[in-house]
Chains A and B, each alone.
Chain A
Amino acid sequence: MSATLIRGGRLIDPASAADIATDVLIDEGRVAEVGKGLSRAGAEVIDADGAVVAPGLVDMHVHLREPGREDEETVASGSAAAVLGGFTAVCAMPNTDPVCDGASVAEMVFAAGRQAGLCEVMPAGSITKGLEGKYLSPVGELVRCGVRLFTDDGKGVQDSRLLRRAMEYIRGFDAICAEHCEDASLSEGGQMHEGEFSEALGLKGIPSAAEEVALGRDILLAELTGVRFHALHVSTAGSAEMIKRAKASGLRVTAEVTPHHLVLTDSDLVSYDTNFKVNPPLRGASDVEALRVALAEGAIDAIASDHAPHSAEEKESEFEIAPPGMLGLETSLSIMLTELVDVGVLSLADLIRLMSTSPARILGLERQGGPVTQGSPANLVIFDPSASWTVKADSLSSMSRNTPWGGRKLKGRILHTFNEGRLVVKDGALVQGALV
C-alpha cells in the first residue's frame, strides 16, 4: 500500500487533545507522522485545506438487517452507508433473523464485515435467546468470538429477575449490558409520544414514563450487580436526569442519544409520515432541550444513529401498521453539525468526542476513536464543515429509503474516509473497487 499525505487540514483529535493545523502522513495502514510541512516521495496527496481531519466516527447503534432482511440492508450495504457518513466502525444490533444469540450468527456478521472491507463491524449479542426475554443467550460463547455488548434492543428485558441474572453474568466477562429501556405494559400499542399531539392526532401514546420506569429499574440493578450498563437511545428529560444522577453516584453507567431525538419532536408527526415513526418515539420540545443540555454537560456519552432501514412497502402503509425506525448513517454528522455545532450547543471537538472517541472507548474498540498519533491505526475521516448539501432519499447508499431528512439542506460534507489506511471514500464517493 502506497503512502498518503493529508495536507493542510485541521486535525481535531480528542484522544490527544489536539486541535491544530497539521499534515498527516499515512503509511502501511498506520499514521506515520503528524506535523507541519510533511512530504513523502510517491505519496498520494489529499488536499484537506479548509477541512477537518478527525478519527473515524463510531456508530454504536445500527441495524444492518443481515441475516434475514437482506432486501432492506446488508452488512456490505450498511458498511458502504457507514463510510459515506464518515464512520469507520459500527456496532450491529442483534435483532436479525435469526437473532445474534450464538457464535454462528456473530461469526457470520464479523465475516461479512471483513469481506465488505470498508469499516469495522462489531455485532452485538442478544441478552436473551431469540430476544424472547426468557432464557440467557450464551454470553461466554459470544464474548469468545469478539462480542462485547449485549442487548435485546427493539425491546427491553421485562423480567427484572432475569435481567439481574444477565447483568451479573455479563459482568463476569467485563462486557456491557445495554438496554432499550421500555416498560412494555406502559407502551403497549403505542404509536408516538404521549402528549398533546398524540391526543390531537388520535394515535395511541407512549408516555415518557414507559422509558423512565425501565431506566430507573435498570440503574438500580446496575448498582446491585456492578455491571457496566449502557442506556440505548435515551429520549426524555427524565432519562437524562437519571443518567446524570447515576453517574454522580459513581455507577458505571453510560448513555447514548440519537440525532433525531436531538432535533425532531412529536409535532413532526402531524403529517402522519411514517418516516417519523420511531421507537423510542420523537418526544416533546422540552425533552429535546434537556437532551441537548445533558449532551453539552457530559451526562450523555455518545451520539448513535439507531440506523434502522425498512422496506418501502412496509413504510408505505397506515401509520399504525408501519414499523418504527429511520435511516441515520449517512446523515448523522451533517445533522449534528447543522443543528448543534452551528448553533453553538456543541463545539466541533465535543462532537468528535461524542461521535468517535467516546463510543470507541465504551465499546473497547482499540483501533478506533484516535489518538491520531504516530503508529496508531489510520481510521480517519475528513469532512468540510461548511459545505452544504441537500438530502435526497433516492441518492442515499443504503438499500432503504426511510429517511425523515429528505429535502433538508444540511451543512457538513464527508470528503474522504480511511479504513486502516486505505481510502474507501474519496471526494464524497465510494472508491471504485473499495467494496470487495
Chain B
Amino acid sequence: MIKNLLSIDQLCVEQIELVLRTAESFREVGTRTIKKVPILRGRTVCNLFFEPSTRTRISFELAAKRLSADVINFTADSKTSVTKGESFKDTAVTLQAMGVDAIVVRSSSSGAPQRLCDWVDASVINAGDGQHEHPTQALLDLYSIKERFPSIEGLRIAIVGDVLHSRVARSNIKAMTKMGAEVIAVGPPTLLPASVQSWGAQVSFDLDEVLPKLDVVYLLRVQKERQNEQLFPSIREYAALWGLDRRRVAMMKPEALIMHPGPMNRGVEIASDIADLERAIITDQVTNGIAVRMSLLYLMLSGADQDLEVLP
C-alpha cells in the first residue's frame, strides 16, 4: 500500500478495491458491543487539524481508537499558529520528533499535506486540504454507493453545486470516474471550473434535465459567503435552480440515491424533508467513514497489500 495518501490520483483501481474490501471487515467491528481490535496497538496517530472540523476529526479519532492506536489531537487555526510564531514546518518537525507513526492533516491551504511529506517520515493522510482534495471522503462515498449497487461501473452520478471550491468534488470526480462511473458536474456556471471536463466529467447547468437519468445525486454544501462574492445572485435563486426538493426527487429513478458530505444547509442545497428520506444515505456515509478510515490506517501503517485475514 502507499505510504502517504494525498490525492486519489495515487490510487489505482485495485488499491481502491482493496481499501473498500478491507473496510467491509471493519464495518462489522463497529456493530460489536466492544468496538475495538488490537491491530495498531502501540502505534501513534496524530490528528493535525489547522481548520475547525468536528466530524472528520471525530471519524479519524474513532477509526484509530477502534484499531487500538494511541491518538493525539492537535487543533490550531493556521492563522493563530503563524501569529504565535511557530511555523507549519516547526509543528511538523516537532510531531516527527515525538515519534508519531501517522499524521492525519486538515488545512485550509491547498497542498499543505504535500508540503508536510517533505518534512516528516510519518505516513501523511490528507483529511482535506483547502480546495484541493479530500480523498478519504471520496473513498467512503464509493463504499456507500457500493453498499447499494452491485458495481460502480456504468452508474450515472451528478455532483451538484460549488464544484469550483470543493475538495470533495475534486476527489470524488477522480475516484468515481476511475471506477467507471459517468460523472456530470451540475451547478451555476460561476461554480463549475472551466477545466472540469478535463477531469473526465461532463458539465450541465440544468439539474432538471439530468435528474431523471441519474443513479446518484451528490449534493455539495453551498457556503452562504459565496453569495457575497457575487458567484450567484441569492440563496433563494440557488435553491430554486439547484436545490433538491420534493418536486425534483419525484423526477428521479426510484432506486436513485441522494448523498451529501455534510454538514448540510437544509433549505439551500437540500430541502429538509428530503434529507430524511430512506434513499438519502447521508448517515450511512458517516458510519462508513469510520470503517473506511480504519481500513486505510491499517493498510498504510501495517504495510499490508493484501486482504485482511479473519479479524480478532
Contact A199 B111 (CB under 8 A): no
Contact A202 B129 (CB under 8 A): yes
Stretch of B192-200, B255-263, B272-280, B281-289 on the interface side = B192-200
- Report chain A residues within 8 Å CB of B199: 200
A316 within 8 A of B: yes
Contact B111 A272 (CB under 8 A): yes
Interface residue from B109, B195, B196 paired with A319 (Cβ < 8 Å): B109
Cα separation A261 to B287 with both chains bound (whole Å)? 49
- Of residues 243 to 302 in A, which have CB atoms within 8 Å of B's CB atoms? 271-272, 274
- Given A317-B88, A318-B88, A320-B130, is A200 in contact with B195 using a C-beta cutoff of 8 Å? yes
B110 within 8 A of A: yes
For A188, the closest partner residue in chain B by CB is B229
Contact A201 B111 (CB under 8 A): yes
B106 within 8 A of A: no
- Of residues 301 to 324 in A, which have CB atoms within 8 Å of B's CB atoms? 313, 316-321
Contact B110 A271 (CB under 8 A): no
- Report chain A residues within 8 Å CB of B82: 317, 321
- Report chain B residues within 8 Å CB of A427: none
- Report chain B residues within 8 Å CB of A203: 110-111, 130-132
Contact with A along B103-123 (1 / 0, CB 8 A): 000011111101100000000
- Of residues 178 to 235 in A, which have CB atoms within 8 Å of B's CB atoms? 191, 195-196, 199-204
B224 within 8 A of A: no
Contact A199 B115 (CB under 8 A): no
Contact with A along B62-101 (1 / 0, CB 8 A): 0000000000000000100010000111000000000000
Contact A320 B110 (CB under 8 A): yes
Contact A202 B196 (CB under 8 A): no
The winner among B78, B82, B109, B129 for most chain A CB atoms within 10 A is B109
User: How many Å from the CB of B98 to the closest CB on chain A?
Assistant: 20
User: How many Å from the CB of B256 to the closest CB on chain A?
Assistant: 28
| Interface of A: prevailing SS | loop
User: How many Å from the CB of B59 to the closest CB on chain A?
Assistant: 21
User: How many Å from the CB of B105 to the closest CB on chain A?
Assistant: 11
- Report chain A residues within 8 Å CB of B239: none
- Report chain B residues within 8 Å CB of A316: 87-89
Cα separation A212 to B114 with both chains bound (whole Å)? 33
The winner among B112, B114, B115, B199 for most chain A CB atoms within 10 A is B115
B170 within 8 A of A: yes
User: How many Å from the CB of A136 to the closest CB on chain B?
Assistant: 33
Contact with A along B152-179 (1 / 0, CB 8 A): 0000000000001001001000000000
Cα separation A199 to B170 with both chains bound (whole Å)? 9
For B115, the closest partner residue in chain A by CB is A272
- Report chain A residues within 8 Å CB of B109: 318-321
Contact B78 A202 (CB under 8 A): no
Contact B88 A271 (CB under 8 A): no
Cα separation A196 to B131 with both chains bound (whole Å)? 14
Contact B111 A319 (CB under 8 A): yes
Cα separation A110 to B220 with both chains bound (whole Å)? 57
- Report chain B residues within 8 Å CB of A199: 164, 193-196
- Report chain B residues within 8 Å CB of A202: 110-111, 129-133, 167, 170
- Report chain B residues within 8 Å CB of A313: 87, 89
For A196, the closest partner residue in chain B by CB is B195
Contact with B along A383-410 (1 / 0, CB 8 A): 0000000000000000000000000000
Interface residue from A191, A196, A271 paired with B114 (Cβ < 8 Å): A271
Cα separation A321 to B199 with both chains bound (whole Å)? 27
Cα separation A317 to B83 with both chains bound (whole Å)? 13
Contact A201 B132 (CB under 8 A): yes
Cα separation A274 to B115 with both chains bound (whole Å)? 9
- Given A201-B111, A202-B129, is A317 in contact with B195 using a C-beta cutoff of 8 Å? no
For A191, the closest partner residue in chain B by CB is B110
- Report chain A residues within 8 Å CB of B115: 272, 274, 318-319
Cα separation A321 to B107 with both chains bound (whole Å)? 12
- Report chain B residues within 8 Å CB of A317: 82, 87-89
- Report chain A residues within 8 Å CB of B133: 202
Contact A201 B110 (CB under 8 A): yes
The winner among A195, A201, A271, A318 for most chain B CB atoms within 10 A is A318
User: How many Å from the CB of B206 to the closest CB on chain A?
Assistant: 22
Interface residue from B111, B193, B198 paired with A318 (Cβ < 8 Å): B111
- Report chain A residues within 8 Å CB of B194: 195-196, 199
- Report chain A residues within 8 Å CB of B198: 196
Cα separation A272 to B7 with both chains bound (whole Å)? 13
- Of residues 2 to 30 in B, which have CB atoms within 8 Å of A's CB atoms? none
Cα separation A333 to B194 with both chains bound (whole Å)? 37
Cα separation A313 to B81 with both chains bound (whole Å)? 13
Contact B114 A318 (CB under 8 A): no
User: How many Å from the CB of A189 to the closest CB on chain B?
Assistant: 10
7 closest A-B pairs by beta carbon, nearest first, are A272-B111, A202-B132, A318-B109, A202-B131, A202-B110, A199-B193, A196-B195
Return 16 A-B CB contacts under 8 Å, by A number.
A191-B110, A195-B195, A200-B199, A202-B129, A202-B133, A202-B167, A203-B131, A272-B111, A272-B115, A313-B87, A316-B88, A318-B88, A318-B107, A318-B115, A320-B109, A320-B130
13 additional contacts (CB under 8 A) given A313-B87, A319-B109: A195-B195, A196-B194, A199-B194, A200-B170, A201-B110, A201-B132, A202-B167, A204-B131, A271-B114, A317-B82, A317-B87, A317-B89, A321-B88
Residues of A within 8 A of B (CB): 191, 195-196, 199-204, 271-272, 274, 313, 316-321
Residues of B within 8 A of A (CB): 78, 82, 87-89, 107-112, 114-115, 129-133, 164, 167, 170, 193-196, 198-199
